[in-house]
Amino acid sequence: MVKPKLIDENGLRIDGRRPDELRKIRMEVGVLEKTDGSAYIEVGGTRIYAGVLGPREVHPKHLELPDRGILNCRYHMASFSVDERKPLGMTRREIELSKVLREALETVVFLDEFPRMMVDIFIEVIQADGGTRTAGITAASLALADAGIPMADMIAATAVGKVDGTLVLDINEVEDKYGEADMPVAMAPHLDSIVLLQLNGRMTSGEIEKGLEMAQNAIKKIHAMQVEALKHRYRIEPEGMET
């Protein structure tokens, strides 16, 4: 496989975007029947369902905590979501991502509001085109909000990458594969803080600072979309206005 040119002579990316441009994002809240809260997200070719079950009784029982609830999170990719079939079961990558995603969400959920209970979050990637963990946590926050779980803020996320020496926002699969670096960032926008941060690849401290700024601006936009998606689900038409 030959590495494609990731930035063209006009400074545009392999899918025609500008370096600081997000892909097309679509969000929908309340898409699954049997969960207590759910959401669906599309970011470019990435497609993810997130579902929340609970608060409910802790299973197994001995794990329950007297003073607060516990949060579980499973990030899982469908076998057909990637080019080469992913074996069934949890890979090491999925186990690691489940941990960092749970820790990010745990930061904003008021766990002491439901002692002796647990909340399960399931993130199911049905098609992966880069940025699955960040799109996954964006959908998971929506599902938590849909389930009515009390939170300090609603997390939104995106990734910044470095491709052909240029910092780019919201990298896709090709950019991730052939680029120099991938930095997923999730933030609690109202608390102005990072809740998830990873870096794979080489970046100078200056590039990281610039990248965080790009991510922060994009996260504000994604957060606004989340709010719209929730409003769309819960809008009540004023009485007498039905047609």
Residues in the chain: 243
Residues 105, 155: Cα–Cα separation, whole Å: 7
Reduced to 3 states (helix: H, G, I; strand: E, B; else coil), residue 109 is: strand
Q: For residue 55, say if its preceding peptide bond is cis, omega within 30 degrees of 0.
A: yes
Contact 77, 132 (CB under 8 A): yes
Residues 140, 52: Cα–Cα separation, whole Å: 8
Choose the stretch contacting other proteins; rule: CB under 8 A; options: 35-43, 52-60, 63-71, 131-139: 63-71
Q: Give long-range contacts, CB 8 A cutoff, 24+ apart: 206-209.
A: 207/162, 207/167, 207/181, 208/183
Residues 89, 100: Cα–Cα separation, whole Å: 19
Output the smallest distance, CB 235 to other proteins, in A: 31
Q: Which is nearer to other proteins, 7 or 212 (CB)?
A: 212
9 touching other proteins, by CB under 8 A: no
- Of the candidate residues 178, 216, 225, 233, the single one contacting other proteins (CB under 8 A): 216
Q: Which is nearer to other proteins, 29 or 105 (CB)?
A: 105
196 touching other proteins, by CB under 8 A: yes
- Of the candidate residues 188, 222, 229, 230, the single one contacting other proteins (CB under 8 A): 188
| Strands 117-127 and 70-77, sheet pairing | parallel
- Of the candidate residues 33, 67, 237, 239, the single one contacting other proteins (CB under 8 A): 67
Choose the stretch contacting other proteins; rule: CB under 8 A; options: 7-15, 33-41, 202-210, 220-228: 202-210
74 touching other proteins, by CB under 8 A: no
State the residues that interact with other proteins by CB under 8 A: 1, 65, 67-68, 92-93, 95-96, 98-100, 103-104, 106-107, 181, 183, 188, 191-205, 208-209, 212, 216
